[in-house]
Amino acid sequence: MINILANDGISNSGVEELKKSGFNIITTNVAQEQLENYINKEDISVILVRSATTVRKELIDKCPGLKIIGRGGVGMDNIDVEYARSKNISVINTPAASSSSVAELVFAHLYSGVRFLHESNRSMPLDGDSNFKKLKKAYAKGVELRGKTLGIIGFGRIGKETAKIAVGAGMNVLAYDKFLSNTTLELEFMGDKSINIDIKISKFDELLKKSDFISLHVPAQKSYVIDKKQFELMKDGVGLINAARGGVVNEVELVNALDSGKVSFAGLDTFENEPKPEIKLLMHPRISLTPHIGAATNEAQDRIGIELAQQIAEILK
């Protein structure tokens, strides 16, 4: 029997799908430093991870029985992908499964920012009964997303899903992507209705200058995508969302831009220092915060589990 370790968990639907194919699935969470010993002792052929567990060269070298490394989600920066493949280990992921979930979280942060929900939810429990009128005045200058421009940096699957919600909310979309010139979005509605919308790819600096809000959808980078120079090009009062990867935005410059008013609010789901984000970010009143939960919906986890199971069955059968 082939043993599969889902070290960061897997949905019930994924477990059922794997069992259906005759695999033995283990959902024990093994500490990083004990992985090598566990994989060899339990004869694990497949390890499935999310973002918590890393699979580096050292682990790959010490676990000759590994046949597949699977990442439930998109980014594979916690896996030495090329090295694993050079050792004839299949490396798989599920790039499409969580796109809608991340896009919806982007809009949760956007709506939270323009209507001060993140601040209001901190203040109301403390002062809602004694300072209701004061709070009402403090949060009275909300703005609508309709009619505003959303700049999307990185126009892959998640960028496109984000654009679809933006179009549905009545926003203008500017997109930047190194690998595209222009593209067509298919907006699907209930009752099998759909319409196509052409999106022209903008120049990077033009997007920074013209966007009211900016959302990042790029993989992990060696250097910042948004640094001091990029903040300077943006409109005064811009809103910035990063639900992509920590390290694509210079967080020191972000705090400076928030303090100066250049950026009116930020929404962060990912951080340079995970799992210990900087205290200045955590305490900042103008940042809407989530602990890297972009793909963490029941629906996405079901899709991820089933998709991984199908890929594993295809490789091993």
User: Considering Cα of 275, then 281, then 282, then 288, what sign does the dihedral take?
Assistant: negative
Catalytic residue among 109, 245, 284, 303: 245
Tell me the C-alpha to C-alpha distance, in Å, between residue 127 and each of 67, 106, 122, 133, 180.
Answer: 57, 28, 9, 10, 49
**With contact defined as beta carbons under 8 Å apart, do 230 and 248 qualify?**
no
Catalytic residue among 71, 217, 292, 303: 292
Angle, CA 219 vertex, CA 110 and CA 49 arms, to 5°: 100
Q: What does the block give as tokens for 86?
A: 């050079």
Active site residue 284: no
Question: Tokens 């002062």 correspond to what residue?
Answer: 127
Active site residue 245: yes
Alpha-carbon gap, residue 48 to 138, rounded angstroms: 47
Alpha-carbon gap, residue 176 to 167, rounded angstroms: 16
Residue 33 DSSP symbol? G
Alpha-carbon gap, residue 135 to 274, rounded angstroms: 33
Active site residue 118: no
Phi/psi of residue 152, each to 5°? -115, 115
- In the chain, the DSSP E strands lie at 3-6, 24-26, 44-49, 68-71, 90-93, 149-153, 172-176, 182-189, 193-200, 213-216, 238-242, 263-268, 287-289
215: closest CA among 249, 257, 251? Answer: 249
Residue 16 DSSP symbol? H
Catalytic residue among 36, 104, 272, 274: 274
How deeply is 110 buried, as exposed, middle or buried, from its count of CB atoms within 10 A (0-12, 13-18, 19+)? Answer: buried
In sequence order, what DSSP letters do the residues of 205-239 get, joined into one string? Answer: HHHHHH-SEEEE-----SS-SB-HHHHHHSPTTEE
What positions carry a catalytic annotation?
245, 274, 292
